[in-house]
Amino acid sequence: MSSKTTNANKALWEKGDFTRIAQSMRDSGEALVSGLALTPGLRVLDVGCGDGTTAVPAAQLGAEVLGVDIASNLVAAGNARARKLGLDNLSFQEGDASDLHELDDEQFDLVVSIFGAMFAPRPFDVAKELVRVTRPGGRIVMGNWIPGDPTLVAQILRISSAYSPAPPDGFVSPMTWGVEDNVVERFSTAGVPRESIAFQRDTYTFNYPGSPSELLSEFRTYYGPTMNAFEAASADGREAELQAALDALFNEQNTSDTATSIPATFLRVTVQR
Ligand SMILES: C[S@@+](CC[C@H](N)C(=O)[O-])C[C@H]1O[C@@H](n2cnc3c(N)ncnc32)[C@H](O)[C@@H]1O
C-alpha cells in the first residue's frame, strides 16, 4: 500500500499542459524580461517558471538562469526548450516556492516569479524563501494577478470559483498576493522594510492566432484551474453555463479584429534586498 500523500498544488499544475497557455504569453514574457536590466552572468532564479516564458528570454540575454517549478511536466518542457535553443546557461528543476530547501542562502542576484509563487501554499513561507535565496543588494520581482480586477485572468478565476467546490479550511487564495497590504505584511515578516517594496500596475497580453473562443478552448482543455472548474460544473449540470460565462468574457476582452489579443492587468512587486 502506498503511503504517498497527494500534493494538491502539484497535481493541479501537472494536470493538463500549461505549455499550451504559455504560448500566448511569450511576447509579454520577453517584454517584461527586457525591462529588468539583465547583464551577462547575472544569477537569476525564476520561481514557478513553467516552461520558461521569462526564464528563456533571461538566458538569451546572457544571465545564468535556474527555473524552479512544482510541476515535473513543465520542468521537462523547460529543459527541452533550453536544449533546443542551445542555452547551456539555463536549466530547470523541480521545487516548491514554499520550501526551496535545495537552494543555498543568498545565491541569486535576481529572483523572478511571474504568476508562479503566488500559487504556492503558505505565503509567509514563500516570502521568507524568496528573501533567503536573494543576495543582499539583489532584487525580487513578482507578478501577481489582482483580486476583483476586471481583466482576463482575475475574471477567469472569479467566474471559475463560483462553479468550484469550497476550498479546504486554511486555504489562502493565491489572489491575496495581488493586494499590496498582504505583500507588505509577508515581506516585512521575512525581514524586508516597507520602503524596500515597490508596486506598479503592469499588463500582460495574451496573443493567440485563433479566435477568443478557441483560446478559451485551450484553457478548458489544458489549464488546470479551468479544467477543475469545468469538472465541478459538469458534476452539477452547469457546464454550459460556465462555458457561456467564460466565452462572453474572452470575446468581450479581445482587442483584435483578426485573431486574439487580450490585455490583463497585474500587480508588479519589486523588492530590494
Ligand atoms: C500561471 S503558471 C505561470 C508559469 C510561468 N511563470 C509563466 O509566466 O508562464 C503558474 C506556475 O506556477 C507553478 N507553481 C504552482 N505552485 C507552485 C509551487 N508551490 N512552487 C513552484 N511552482 C509552483 C505552476 O506549476 C506553474 O508553472
Which residue in 217, 206, 222, 220 sits closest to 255, CA to CA? 206
53: its cell numbers: 516564458
> Using CA positions, which residue lies closest to atom 1 of ligand 1?
115
Across the range 47-76, mean pLDDT stands at 98
The 8-class DSSP code of residue 193 comes to -
pLDDT reported for residue 128: 98
Lowest average pLDDT, out of 50-59, 133-142, 225-234, 251-260, goes to: 225-234
Amino acid 197: pLDDT:
98
Query: Average model confidence (pLDDT) for the chain?
Result: 95
70, 81, 103, best to mutate for ligand 1 pocket (most atoms within 8 Å of CB): 70
Q: 13 C-alpha to center of ligand 1: Å? A: 7
Q: Is residue 50 lining ligand 1, measured as CB closer than 6 Å?
A: yes
User: Which of 18, 79, 125 is the pocket-test mutation for ligand 1 (most atoms within 8 Å of CB)?
Assistant: 18
**Gap from CA of 156 to ligand 1 centroid (Å):** 17
Q: What angle do the packed helices 239-253 and 212-222 form, to 10 degrees?
A: 130
Q: State the pLDDT at residue 169.
A: 84
Which string of DSSP letters, residue by residue, matches 78-145? HHHHHHHTT-TTEEEEE-BTTB-TTS-TT-EEEEEEESSGGGSS-HHHHHHHHHHHEEEEEEEEEEEE
> How high is the pLDDT of residue 176?
97
Report the predicted TM-score, pTM, of the whole model to 2 decimal places: 0.95
Residue pLDDT, tens place only, 200-238: 999 999 999 999 999 999 999 999 989 999 999 999 899
Given 3-state DSSP classes, what are the helix, strand and coil percentages for the chain, each rounded to the nearest 5? 45, 25, 35
Q: Does the Cβ of 19 fall within 6 Å of ligand 1?
A: no
pLDDT (0 to 100) of residue 271: 98
- The confidence score (pLDDT) of residue 5 equals 62
Q: What percent of the chain has pLDDT over 90?
A: 92
Tell me if 17 CB under 6 Å of ligand 1. no
Q: How far is CA 70 from the centre of its chain?
A: 11
Task: Kindly give the distance from the C-alpha atom of residue 48 to the centroid of ligand 1, in angstroms, as a whole number.
Answer: 3
- Closest-lying ligand 1 atom to the alpha carbon of residue 121: 19
- Residue with the smallest CA separation from ligand 1 atom 6 is 49
Residue nearest to atom 17 of ligand 1 (CA): 120
